[in-house]
Structure 1
C-alpha cells in the first residue's frame, strides 16, 4: 500500500457491481478489470465472494499470481453462520484460503435483522461478529467489517448499532465500514452519524459504503469523508444492484480536486479516469452515459452562444474544473442556439489553421445556414463532419468531388418466411465521366452504401478503406406517423479515424444518401484528394 494515504479507495466493481441487472462479467473480464484498477492505483480491489460461485473461485485462483505494487486484493464474505464454530465455518475458511490480502465481511447491525432475519439474540450476533473477525485476523493481515444497514440500524437502536461496531473492534477489525445498504440516507444525517462514530473509534479507520437508491450515494460518501471517514467504497460508473453504488468516477475527482484530498491518486492517474470508465463500460457491454459528470462526452459540452462566448475568454466561467485533469475535453456544440462564438470555437478545434475572424462573412452565413437546417430537423451536435462541410460551403471553400445523377433501390421479399433481398443501382458524374454501379446488400442502406462507393472507388481509390460503423434513424415527429421527417446519423471509419454525418428527409433512403454523401466527401477532404475542376459547389 502507498505510504501517504489519507482516504483509502475501495473498489467493489467486481462484486457489488457484478450484481447489476444485465451485467455478467466473464473470468477474462474480471481479470482485465482488476488489472486495470490496479494500474490506476486503487487501494483495495474486492474480487468477489470465494465459495459463492465457481466463477469467483476461478478468479481468486487465477489472480494469485498478481503483481500489483500499489493495490491489494480483498475477498468478501459474511460472519459465520449461527450455530457453527467460527473455526469450522466454511465461508470464513474460504476467505482465509483465498490468497487475498484482506477480507471484508458483513454482519448485521440493525436489531430487527438480527432477530427476524437471523433468528438469534442480539448478544449472539455480537459474538458472531467479534469471533468471525478475530478468526480471520489469525489468517489475514487486514480484516474489514461492513456493518450492514448501519444507518437504519442506528436510527432504530443506536446503542445496539454501536455495540456491533465495538464487537468488530474487539475482534481486531482494521476498518469499520458503515453501510447505507438500502440507499435511503441523506448527507446531513450521514455526516452526523459518521462524526459520532469517528469520535467513538479514533484509532480505527471508518469507512462508508453507500447505495444510490435516493441518488445520494456520492453525496453521502463525500459527507462521510468530511465527517472523518477514511475509506470510501464504491464502483466504477456507479454500477451495482438496484440503483447502483457510490460512483468512484465522481468521488475521486471530488476528493482530489474539490476537497484537496489526494486519496493516493496522482495527477497523471487522474487523467486516466475517463479511459478507466470507458474500459469498464466496454467490459460490462454498456453504452456510456454521455452526461456522466466529469468524464461524460457532454460533461464539458457547450451549446448556447452566450456560454461559448464566455468560455472563449475564460473556460472557468462555465466549467467547474479543467476537463483535461480527468482525461476529458471541452466540446463546442453547433445548433440552432449557436452564435458566431460557437462557429469560431468549433473551427478552432477542428481546423486551427483556418484563421477565421469574428467578422468573417462566412461565419455569419454559416450561422444562418445552421439555423435554417436545424429548423428543418438537422442536428450537428453529433455530426462534426457534416458541420465542417457546411462551414466550407458557407465560406466558398468547398468543391464537390462527384455529382449524383440518380439512384434506385429495390427491396424485394418473397413469401412470409423468406429473407428480403436488397439491390441498389447508382449513377454519378465525376468530372466529365459517368460512373454506374450496382450492389447487393444486407438491407437497402447497406446496398446503397456499397453501390455508391463502388461507383467512386476507381476515381478515388482511398474510399476502399472506408466503411460504415454505425447507423441511427430518428423519427422527428410521431404525430405524422410514417409520413414524418426522419434524421439519419452515420458514423464512418477508415480504420484510423471516425467521423459522423447527418441527413434529413421524409424519405429514409434520401436522408441516408445525404448522410452518405457527406461521409464520402469528408473522407476525400481529410485525405486532401483534389476534386475535378468541372464540379464546383
Structure 2
C-alpha cells in the first residue's frame, strides 16, 4: 500500500494540488500497479476534500474505488461522512496502539476507546464503507504495553475490520524487534490480516520492512522517494527491489515504472531526490572509477542484480578525476567517436584537469573537450548570442531583447516572461519558430553555489533538455541569469552540430 499522497504529504513543505494528486494516483495504480493507495486525511481542508473527490471520481470510472483509502478518526460519523461525500469507500481508522497514547492523549480507558471504535465500525457498516484500523504508536505499545496491544486486537478482530495496520510511528524499532513483534502478532492472531508501516528515523525503514516480511507480514506501506514526516517512510523503489532480490517474493508492481513515478513526485513535491539514493538517485547507475569501467568492458565484472534497465534507467560512466581512459572511451563510443591512444590520453588528462577545478563534466560536453584538446574546429560555435538585454521592473513583467547569430546570420526578438530567464528563452523560441527549427524542452534546472559562498561566488547552472533524448549543458558565471544563458547557448550549439567522426580522422591526418 502506497501512502505518498497522505503520509508523504506530511513532509514539511509538501502539498499536492488536486491535479497533482490525480496524476500520481493514476501512475501508482495503472502504471506502477501498487495494490492500494492512501490519498488523504479526512477533515483537513477544503483543498484536501476537492483533491480526494477528484481522485474518487476517476477511480469510480476505472473500477479502482476499493483500492483508494483515506485516513479517518474515531469521531462518530464525522470522518465517515467526509469520506462518503468525497466518494470514498474505505477508511483507515486512526486508533491508539499504545496504552500511553490512549490514557494520556485521549484521556480514556482502553475499554472506552474500544467502545468508541465499535461505534464508528457500526456507522461505517451502515454507510457501506470498509474499515482498516491503524494502531498508532504500535511499536511503543509493543515495547511498553503489550497487554494493551493484545487487548485491542482481541477486542476488534471479530468486528468488520479488513486489516490491522501496525505502524512504527516514531521510527524507533530495530530489525530484531520488528521481526519479533510482527511474528508475535501473526502467531497470536493467525486469522487477522496485518500491514506493517515503517518510518525511517534511524535509517532502518528498509531493514525493518525486510524483517517484517521475513516474520510473515504480507503487506507493507511505502511512499515514493521515501517522503513522509520527519525522516520519511520506506521508499517504494527500495522495498520492491528488496522483496524481489533478497526475499525472492513476487509483487504485482511494474518495477520498470518506478523511475517514472519517482520523477513525477519529485517534480510535484519540490523535494529533490538525493543523487545517491538507491535505485532512483541520478548517479546510482553511474560508475566513476576507471577500474570499474574497465572491468565492465571485460564481462561486466562490476554489475550486480540491480541492472538499471529493470527500472527504466541506463548505466553511465562519469567523467571526473577518477575516470581514467576506460570511462572516457565508453563515453566517446556512445557518441560515435574513436580516438587513437595519444589523443585519448590528451582528452583524459583534460577531463582530470577540469575535475580538479571542481567543474561538472557531462558526456554532452565531451565534443567540446575533444575539439579543444585536439586544436580543431570540429565542434564549431554555429550559434552565438551577439547581445541581450534583460530587465525587471517592480510591478511590470520582465522583458528580454535578444540578438542571436546562427551560421553568420543575425536574428532579433523580444519577449516578456514570468522571470528574466523565462523572457530570454521565450525570445529564443520566437526565433526558432520563425526558422521552423525545433527547440528542446527544458526538463530540469539546477543552480549550485558553493557552501559559504560570497555574493560574488561563481554560480553553476546545469540544465537538462529533451528532444529525441535527454542531455545536459552547463554555464558558469557570477550572475545566475548569465550562467543560465551560457548553458542555453551551449545547448543551442549541441542541437545545431553533429559531431562527425569521419571529419575528425581527416583533420588528424592533416595534422
- Could you tell me the TM-score, scaled by structure 2's length? 0.81
Structure 1 residues 512-527: aligned runs within 5 Å: 515=487, 518-526=490-498
Aligned twin of 1:6: none
Is 1:499 the counterpart of 2:464 in the alignment?
Answer: no
Contact preservation (8 Å) 1:472, 1:490: yes
Once structures 1 and 2 are overlaid, which stretch shifts more, 247-256 or 437-446? 437-446
Aligned twin of 1:32: 23
Contact preservation (8 Å) 1:75, 1:102: yes
Contact preservation (8 Å) 1:43, 1:71: no
Secondary structure at 1:526's aligned position in 2?
coil
CA distance, structure 2, for counterparts of residue 18 and residue 211 of structure 1: 14
Q: Once the 2 structures are TM-superposed, how far is the Cα of residue 52 of structure 1 from its aligned partner? A: 4.3
What is the aligned residue count? 500
For residues 348-403 of structure 1, the C-alpha deviation after alignment (integer angstroms, 9 at most, x for no partner) is: 3x32x44x37x6332211101112223344320xx332123323554677525348
Aligned twin of 1:48: 40
Aligned twin of 2:61: 66
Structure 1 residues 119-518: aligned runs within 5 Å: 119-133=107-121, 135-137=123-125, 139-140=127-128, 142-265=130-253, 269-315=254-300, 317-348=302-333, 350-351=334-335, 353-354=336-337, 356=338, 360-380=341-361, 383-394=362-373, 398-402=377-381, 465=439, 474-475=448-449, 481=454, 486=458, 488-491=460-463, 493=465, 496-504=468-476, 515=487, 518=490
For residues 481-514 of structure 1, the C-alpha deviation after alignment (integer angstroms, 9 at most, x for no partner) is: 5676x36445375755553233557898997786
**Compared CA separation, residues 513 and 214, structure 1 to 2 (3 A):** closer
**Compared CA separation, residues 388 and 477, structure 1 to 2 (3 A):** farther
Q: Once the 2 structures are TM-superposed, how far is the Cα of residue 462 of structure 1 from its aligned partner? A: 7.2
For residues 388-420 of structure 1, the C-alpha deviation after alignment (integer angstroms, 9 at most, x for no partner) is: 332355467752534899967778999x99999
Q: Once the 2 structures are TM-superposed, how far is the Cα of residue 228 of structure 1 from its aligned partner? A: 1.1
Secondary structure at 2:62's aligned position in 1?
coil
Contact preservation (8 Å) 1:109, 1:153: yes
**RMSD over equivalenced CA pairs, Å:** 4.3
Contact preservation (8 Å) 1:439, 1:448: no
Contact preservation (8 Å) 1:424, 1:444: no
CA distance, structure 1, for counterparts of residue 255 and residue 83 of structure 2: 32
Aligned twin of 2:8: 17
**Compared CA separation, residues 71 and 337, structure 1 to 2 (3 A):** farther
**Compared CA separation, residues 211 and 137, structure 1 to 2 (3 A):** farther
Q: Once the 2 structures are TM-superposed, how far is the Cα of residue 28 of structure 1 from its aligned partner? A: 2.1
For residues 206-250 of structure 1, the C-alpha deviation after alignment (integer angstroms, 9 at most, x for no partner) is: 211122222222322222111111111222222222322222222
Once structures 1 and 2 are overlaid, which stretch shifts more, 143-152 or 166-175? 166-175
CA distance, structure 2, for counterparts of residue 140 and residue 419 of structure 1: 53
CA distance, structure 2, for counterparts of residue 464 and residue 394 of structure 1: 30
Structure 1, unmatched stretches of 5+, are 1-9
Contact preservation (8 Å) 2:331, 2:363: no
Secondary structure at 2:497's aligned position in 1?
helix
| Structure possessing the higher radius of gyration over alpha carbons | 1
Q: Once the 2 structures are TM-superposed, how far is the Cα of residue 159 of structure 1 from its aligned partner? A: 0.9
**Compared CA separation, residues 517 and 361, structure 1 to 2 (3 A):** farther
For residues 14-45 of structure 1, the C-alpha deviation after alignment (integer angstroms, 9 at most, x for no partner) is: 22222222222222222222222220222112
**Compared CA separation, residues 489 and 202, structure 1 to 2 (3 A):** same
CA distance, structure 1, for counterparts of residue 320 and residue 71 of structure 2: 50
Contact preservation (8 Å) 2:198, 2:234: yes
Secondary structure at 2:365's aligned position in 1?
helix
Structure 2, unmatched stretches of 5+, are none
Aligned twin of 1:113: 101
- Could you tell me the TM-score, scaled by structure 1's length? 0.78
Secondary structure at 2:297's aligned position in 1?
helix
Secondary structure at 1:221's aligned position in 2?
helix
Secondary structure at 2:331's aligned position in 1?
helix
